[in-house]
Amino acid sequence: MEKNDLWLPKDFFKQFKSKEHFDEFFQGMFKQGINEMLQGELDDQLGYEKHASEGRNSGNSRNGSSSEKVKSES
């Protein structure tokens, strides 16, 4: 993979001073990405976005959420 394939600023990786800092940053990014994908999947399944008026009294409404831990390979 070439440097420009990532579409990140040239000096992006210079901000990480240790492997732990690098891992922590990307674990957070991974978690946020998974949450966004799951939210998009729910929007698609229900046919409307969160807080949209189309979902009110539709019989297929969102009823809240709770936190969960997902185990991954990393």
SS3 label, residue 15: helix
Contact 6, 13 (CB under 8 A): no
Contact 61, 55 (CB under 8 A): yes
Instruction: Let me know how long the chain is.
Output: 74
**Mean per-residue pLDDT pooled into runs of 10, the chain (74 residues):** 67 94 94 92 87 76 74 75
The reported pLDDT for the residue numbered 62 is 72
The reported pLDDT for the residue numbered 29 is 93
Instruction: Quote the pTM value.
Output: 0.62
